[in-house]
Amino acid sequence: MVSLSSFVCSFPCVAFSGSRSSSSSAVFSARAFLLVLSSFSGSVAVGCASGVDSVVRSSFPLASVFSVSSFLVGGRVCRASFARRSSALVSFCASSGGLLVAFPLGACPPSVVPSSSFFGAGSGSWGSVALAVGLGCSVLVVLPAGSGLASFSPALASRFSFVGVAPCGGGLWLAS
């Protein structure tokens, strides 16, 4: 198998999604993962949140940042604004032939299924994963150590294969 760095660097664009919690295992995983990508020269897309998004923005200061304030609903930020922002990020990645890398904090809600519209049942990370799969985008999910296929909803589990151990010690799961 090719190295993680070679695999990720083979894409023209990499978009990131993950937990907003700044002290989570997802942020730890993202920090370890990003150390491997020092040679990435393609475009990077990320959201405006804290947690994983913040870590990615620190590593890639020239990243395209998808800001929730650009997706106001009725002139204000609301829950739908976050879904629209995530949809735009994933759509950009998919249309660029890119790779979505996701660092979810917990298990995927069982009702989340691959789709061409955003639905995360309360989880933006898993909603982004499901949308990316639904749009035919390659997706790499980085799970913490001790997590596995049971972290995926039943509808997503059949789309992913274990492809290796992440730099954080967790698992790498790929849908392409």
Percent of the chain at pLDDT > 90 equals: 84
| pLDDT, position 2 | 66
Range of the domain at 74: 4-175
**18-45 mean pLDDT:** 91
Rounded-to-integer distance, Cα 74 and Cα 3, Å:
46
Domains: count for the chain: 1
Domain CATH code at residue 151: 3.40.50
**pLDDT single digits (tens) 77-104:** 998 999 999 999 999 999 999 999 999 9
Which structure tokens are listed for 44?
A: 């990077």
**pLDDT single digits (tens) 101-115:** 999 998 999 999 999
How many other CB atoms are found less than 10 A from the CB of residue 105? 19
Contact 145, 168 (CB under 8 A): yes
Closest listed residue to residue 147, CA positions, set 169, 176, 126 = 169
Contact 33, 166 (CB under 8 A): yes
Angle made by CA atoms 100, 49, 57, in degrees to the nearest 5: 65
